[in-house]
Chain A
Amino acid sequence: MKKEIIAMLLAGGVGSRLGILAKKRAKPAIPFGGIYRIIDFTMSNIANSDIDVVGVLTQYKPLSLMEHIDNGRPWDLFGRTRLVEILPPKTGEEISDWYKGTSDAVYQNLGFIEDFSPELVLIVSGDHIYYMNYKELIFYHKNKNADATICLIKVPFEQAGNFGIACVNQDDKIIDWEEKPKMPRSNLASMGIYLFNKEVLKEMLIDSAKRGGVDFARDIIPLMLGKKRVFGYEFSGYWRDVGTIDAYWSANMDLLNPESGLNIEKWGIKTNLSVKGEIGDWPPIYIGRNAEVKNSLISQGCEIEGTVVNSVLSPGVKVEKRALVRDSVIFHGTIIRRDSVIERAIIDKDVEIGEKVLIRKQKTGADLTTGITVIGKGTKIPSQAVANKSLNKNLFIL
């Protein structure tokens, strides 16, 4: 089957900085915005850009991700010539190993790419919150007659050290590249989105593999500079790497702020609502007689008798009488019993918070944490527990 372009979606990330949220699932599979998962943004961008073949490279705890992607139907990536294929590590005659890095994962699946003889290959990662029409990127790439185009976004200089940083000339050609530099010379950060001419990609992957290269940012890009036409495509919309608890929490809060630029509806983000019958099995939302709900996103199956302010609730969350939930993100099936107060918390699935529990805003410390409490999947917090000590770090309750 011949395709002009296919996408390879890197979804293997461990997401270690997300702590217990990523303990039982890959980072792209972490719930976001009530009913979504982080990977939905990239999947929807791909589908909305009319790219209809996607290989999803998984490695770390792929089960929830595989269930979520299923046959690709939610994103309309299902049909005779449209497909999503999960590509886990495999053993073959020659190559057999875990994926050692981003480029190694693609290298090990060159066979999948060749099946479609595409001219272009889009490499994207599944752990960013953004909206992009890749058609514009493709147009730019062709216009520049590029071998590879890397999407860049301006970040504050003090954060630049966390990213791959590009230096571009007047023609937007990338002339220098530094991976997580201590003294960044530019603030154009890589978004982890690369568009390659397939032949060039293949050549580079094989070449790099010979030298032991396994990572796009560390090995492939530097190898290309000077040899190939590599361009930077500057993106200026909403884009967040939700790799930390603070960033993850803030992006969820952005959903509640119309000025933030994060607009799921306008972006046409789709998700799989039928995992294990999840959505269809919940009853509709019920908001009780004395309940108060302010500026919040509420999903199906939620039952609210208490107060919910500035929060994002996944399906099936129960907030009992006189309980207060503020500035929080609560995952599926969690119960908050009466008279409890939950502020600035991220609470994973199926947690039970007893009566009169206090989880208050942590005092902000010097290390820039925002004082968020994170409670792991299935935790039971006994009645009258208190978590409001002045901690300098985000509090994790496992």
Chain B
Amino acid sequence: MTDVLGMILAGGRVDELLTLTEKRPKAAVPIFGIYRFIDFVLTNMMISEIDNVGVLSQYRPYSLMRHIGTGEHWDFIGRKRGVRILPPYKGIKESDWYKGTADAVYQNISYIEEFNPKYVLVAAADHIYQMDYRLLYRYHIEKDADVTVCFTMVREKTPWFGYGIIDKEGHLLGYQEKPKEPPSNWVSMTVYLFKSDLLKEILKENAGQDSHEFGRDVIPGLIGKTRIYGYKFKDLWAYARTIEMYYTTNMEYLKKRGILRRWILRTNLVEGCENQDRIPTRVLGDVSNSVIGNGCVIYGTVRNSILSPGVFVEKNAIVENSIIFHNTIIQRNAHLESVICDKNVNVGESCSIGTFGAEVPSREFSELLKSGITVLGKGVEVPEGTKIGANTVVYSTAKIIDKEIPPGSTLR
């Protein structure tokens, strides 16, 4: 697909992931042990043979930049292939932070013009799916569409998404962003294929307005005015808008591993060369129904959990139903139940985390955190013998002093 340029929307922070997006954009949040959110869309672009991709990134892009590196892990390296991070910049006229997804693409029109593609594929970096965009491309050409928006069917009509009304011929008849009463079961995957000239035109028009989001502003405005179509994607798709959805999506991986193992999925494991220094995983304890990254050392018990590379579980420690990011250490006799633990956390001896008070919702995030999950931010030190109740969030800046943290707390 040499006439398609990929643009990935990877700037978002997403407050609903609490401390996981404290220091990184959502696109760079680890998932399924060794991956990051952006791997799905990057891999999709790779298998669709899109040669050039721009990544629009604004919020703390450093970890994302490191992860993408030269792009070689997704084969985006070569004389005519490349992936570029496109941060906000200062120009003579235009100079500003990205004011929204549409504005981010608008500010990089010159990047698009460099390649002069016939089509531009705009896709968000935080959806989990495997898709060959060439099918979308063929559909788009077949329908002689100006714009094609991808949709996937949901059973539960939650208000998080943009909903589309698609007729039998595929015309997109209506689109509502985050409606109170969704008009259909088809939600937008934030994957849009545009005719390049049209995209430039509508972005210029949008730039004059006050709000600059594809979903909220651009797409609804196109309905009835252009040849806009909906493409129904029918394979496995997942999304993790909130911390609880993030947890469930990870845990689903343990169940749907079969499907996911058939996916082609690429990631950068040699980031900063740190993986070159990791030994294979050493299992001496008891592990069952778990996904483990390389370089882990497990003396204790790990059940129904997902461990990223380099996690150390000491003797008699128990990790259950938890998601543990890179290089975290769980010391002797510690017990973790339904914990999401960011990188480089040190859980001291005999700590007990998330093991009590699952019925007490978070006081600060009562809607987001009520199902008994505990979240520890990057680099948190949990002193020996500390007890932390469920539905607690510990931000990376917090110092834990108390021996017992009641359930539903927030520490900053």
Decide if A and B are genuine partners.
yes
Binding site for B on A (CB under 8 A): 33-35, 74, 76, 264-265, 268, 270-274, 277, 279-281, 283-291, 293-300, 303, 312-313
Counting CB contacts under 8 A, is B14 at the interface?
Answer: no
A286 surroundings in chain B (CB, below 8 A): 257, 290-292
The chain A residue sitting closest to B296, CB to CB, is A285
Specify which of B266, B294, B306 is in contact with A300 (CB 8 Å cutoff). B294
Interchain CA distance A213-B243 in the complex, whole Å: 71
Contact residues in A for B291 (Cβ distance below 8 Å) = 284-286
**A residues in contact with B1, CB < 8 Å:** none
Interface residues in B261-289 by Cβ distance below 8 A to A read 261, 264-270, 273, 275-277, 279-284, 287-289
Kindly state the interface size class of chain B when it binds its partner: 20 to 34
Q: Are B73 and A277 in contact (CB under 8 A)?
A: yes
A291 touches B280 (CB 8 A): no
Contact, CB under 8 Å: A284 / B280: no
In the bound complex, residues from chain A placing their C-beta under 8 Å from that of B270 are 74, 273-274, 279-280
Of residues 3 through 53 on chain B, the ones whose CB sits less than 8 Å from some CB of chain A are 32-34
Task: Verify B281–A298 contact, CB threshold 8 A.
Answer: yes
With contacts A274-B270, A286-B290, A288-B289 taken as known, whether A294 is within 8 angstroms of B284 at the C-beta atoms is: yes
Known: A291-B287, A293-B287, A300-B294. A284 touches B277 (CB 8 A): no
Q: Is B354 an interface residue (CB 8 A)?
A: no
- Residues on B with beta carbons closer than 8 Å to the beta carbon of A299: 280-281, 294
Q: A248 to B294, alpha carbons, bound, how many Å?
A: 23
A33 to B293, CA, bound (A): 17
Q: Is the CB of A298 within 8 A of B290?
A: no
Give chain B residues whose Cβ lies under 8 Å from the Cβ of A268. Answer: 277
| Residue numbers in A under 8 Å from B32 (CB-CB) | 283-284
Verify B280–A294 contact, CB threshold 8 A.
Answer: no
Instruction: Give the shortest distance, in Å, between A78 (CB) and chain B (any CB).
Output: 11
Residues of A within 8 A of B135 (CB): none
Which A residues lie within 8 Å of B73 (CB)?
274, 277, 280
In Å, the complex CA distance between A298 and B302 comes to 15
Assess whether B260 is interfacial by the CB under 8 Å rule.
Answer: yes
Between-chain CB contacts (< 8 Å), 30 pairs: A33-B280, A34-B280, A35-B294, A265-B277, A265-B279, A273-B269, A274-B73, A277-B266, A279-B269, A280-B268, A281-B264, A283-B34, A283-B260, A283-B261, A283-B265, A284-B291, A284-B294, A284-B306, A285-B291, A285-B292, A286-B290, A287-B287, A287-B292, A289-B288, A291-B287, A296-B282, A298-B292, A299-B280, A300-B34, A313-B280
Starting from the known contacts A74-B273, A279-B270, A280-B267, 15 additional A-B residue pairs (CB-CB under 8 Å) come to A33-B279, A35-B279, A270-B276, A273-B269, A273-B270, A277-B73, A277-B266, A283-B260, A284-B293, A287-B287, A291-B288, A295-B284, A297-B281, A300-B269, A303-B261
Interface of B with A (CB < 8 Å)? 32-34, 73, 257, 260-261, 264-270, 273, 275-277, 279-284, 287-294, 306
Task: For B284, give the chain A residue with the smallest CB separation.
Answer: A295
Residues of chain A with a CB closer than 8 A to B273's CB? 74, 76
Tell me the bound Cα distance from A344 to B257 in angstroms. 31
- State in angstroms the CA–CA spacing of A274 and B70 once bound together: 14
CB-CB under 8 A from A283, the residues of chain B are 32, 34, 257, 260-261, 265
Hey, which chain A residues are within 8 Å of B306, CB to CB?
284
Which of these, B268, B276, B289, B292, contacts A289 with CB under 8 Å? Answer: B289
Residue of B nearest to A271 (CB): B276
**In the assembled complex, which residues on chain B have CB atoms less than 8 Å from the CB atom of A264?**
279
Q: Is there contact, CB below 8 Å, between B269 and A35?
A: no
Chain A residues contacting B283 (CB-CB under 8 Å) are 287, 293-296, 298
Query: How many angstroms from the CA of A33 to the CA of B282 in the assembled complex?
Result: 11
Structural contact, A287 and B289, CB atoms closer than 8 A: yes
Question: Does B279 contact A298, Cβ atoms closer than 8 Å?
Answer: no
A18–B119 Cα distance when bound, in Å, is 56
Q: Which residues of A contact B280 (CB under 8 A)?
A: 33-35, 297-300, 312-313
Chain B residue with Cβ nearest A295: B284
The answer to whether A297 touches B266, judged by C-beta atoms less than 8 angstroms apart, is no
Minimum CB distance partner of A256 in chain B: B282
A294–B291 Cα distance when bound, in Å, is 16
Q: How far is the CA of A78 from the CA of B280 in the complex (A)?
A: 25
By a CB distance below 8 angstroms, the chain A residues around B33 are 284
Are B34 and A273 in contact, CB atoms less than 8 angstroms apart? no
Nearest-Cβ distance from residue B279 to partner chain A, whole angstroms: 5
A297 to B289, CA, bound (A): 17
Q: Which 5 A-B pairs have the closest CB atoms?
A: A34-B280, A284-B33, A285-B292, A299-B280, A293-B283
**Given the complex, which residues of A lie within 8 Å of B289, measured CB to CB?**
287-289
Closest to B294 in A: A300
B290 nearest CB neighbor, chain A only: A287
Q: Which residue of A lies closest to B289 (CB)?
A: A289
- Which residues of chain A are within 8 angstroms of B264 by Cβ–Cβ distance? 281
* Residues in A whose Cβ lies below 8 Å from that of B267: 280
- Provide the residues of chain A in CB contact with B269, threshold 8 Å: 273, 279-280, 300
